[in-house]
Each structure stands twice: as structure tokens, then as C-alpha cells.
Structure 1
Amino acid sequence: MAELIRVSATSRSTAVAGAIAGVMRQQRYAEVQAIGASAVNQAIKAIAIARGYLEQDNIDLAVVPAFTDVVIDGNERTALRIAVFVRPTEMNDRLN
């Protein structure tokens, strides 16, 4: 099962980026989930920062966003779930 990284409006984008980078180095796939515009903003910034962290490892990222329904405290909410993949590049093809 994919690692689910939950992001809130108050999440530090650099901390989330570190979590994303760590999961991507080990599992090469992660899912990032956010509810609300501010949380989605933090999630997208974190993915962009994680790309920078992973550059030294010759890993680049690609994402696929999708809406999903989640239940929080008995209430159904719509979340944005972002699947994060390793993007094939010429350099990481040679290294892997």
C-alpha cells in the first residue's frame, strides 16, 4: 500500500517535502492528501520543494491529482489526493 502523506493548511511545506523525498527514495511512489485550498497550496509547494531535494539523487517527480471522498468526524469531505511517481528521465534510466 502506498504511503499516505496528509497535509493541512498549517503544515510546513519543507517538512512535508522531506517526508515526500524520503518515501520516494525508498518506495518510489507516494500519495499526498489535502483538504481545502490552503492545504492544497502547501501540498503543491511541498512537491516542488521535494523535486529539489531529490535532484541530487537524479530522481524527478510526476503527479496525478484526483478528488476523493473522506469521512472526518462523521462528516464526508472532498479531498485532493495526489499520486506522486518517479518520472522517467534519461539519467535515472541509466542509474537504475
Structure 2
Amino acid sequence: MGVQFDADEGAGNEVILRVKSSSSAASVASAISHAVYDGKRVTLRAIGAGAVNQGVKAIAIANSFVAPRGIVLDTRPGFTTVNTPDAGEISAILLRILVH
């Protein structure tokens, strides 16, 4: 089974991971940790409770991936509006990953 999330290269040094309710939390965690290792800023975008759940689980798993290297991940939640062809404007949760 393939990875169940989409990645966008944001402005400059940012990666935006679009998480779905069907996303594998371990796969998203792997993408988070690799982006952190590459020095990129990471933001998760989730629409719906199931997607937010997978995103939060992914951050927890990613923390365990990066901890042996002395890295600690924090999260700053926020909102954004997404335009979709089907539903028009809908709200999404943004989970910004802060690296310490």
C-alpha cells in the first residue's frame, strides 16, 4: 500500500503535508522526520476529525523518530481556509511543527 498523503513544497524551505483520515500515521511521521533532517519547516494540513487524528498521531511518532538525535518537536495549531471545487470554502486545521 502506498503513502496516503500529499506533499506540497511551500514557499522557500517549507513542506506542507496534506493529511487524510486514511493516511498512515507512520508514513506521515517518516515524511515529517525526513523534512526536519533536511532543515525544512513542516506544516500538516488536515480537514476533518479523522485527518486531524492521524496528523496528531504522526507528530507523536515523529517525535520518537527524531529524539535519538536530540531533536524535540513541538506543534502550533491554527486554522486556514481551503477552496475546493466541490464544497467551496472549508476550514482546515494547520499543525505547524516547531523544531528544538
Q: Using structure 2 for the length normalisation, give the TM-score.
A: 0.83
Length-normalised TM-score, structure 1? 0.86
Question: Map of 1:68-83 to 2, 5 A cutoff?
Answer: 68-73=80-85, 75-83=88-96
Give the secondary structure class of the aligned counterpart of 1:48: helix
Question: Is the aligned partner of 1:46 residue 2:62?
Answer: no
Paired positions, count: 87
- The structure with higher relative contact order (CA 8 Å, sep 6+) is 1
Query: Tell me, which stretches of 5 or more residues in structure 2 are unaligned?
Result: 1-10
For residues 1-96 of structure 1, the aligned pairs below 5 Å read: 1=11, 2-73=14-85, 75-87=88-100
The runs of 4+ residues in structure 1 deviating greater than 6 Å are none
Amino acid in structure 1 at the alignment position of 2:55: A
The letter of the residue matching 2:97 is V
Offset, 1:25 = 1.0
Conservation of the 8 A alpha-carbon contact between 1:63 and 1:83: yes
Q: Which moved more, 1:59-68 or 1:23-32?
A: 23-32
Deviates more, 1:27-36 or 1:4-13: 27-36
Measured in 2, the distance between the counterparts of 1:33 and 1:79 equals 7
Q: How much is the aligned-residue C-alpha RMSD, in angstroms?
A: 1.0
Larger Rg: 1
- Secondary structure class of the residue paired with 1:27: coil
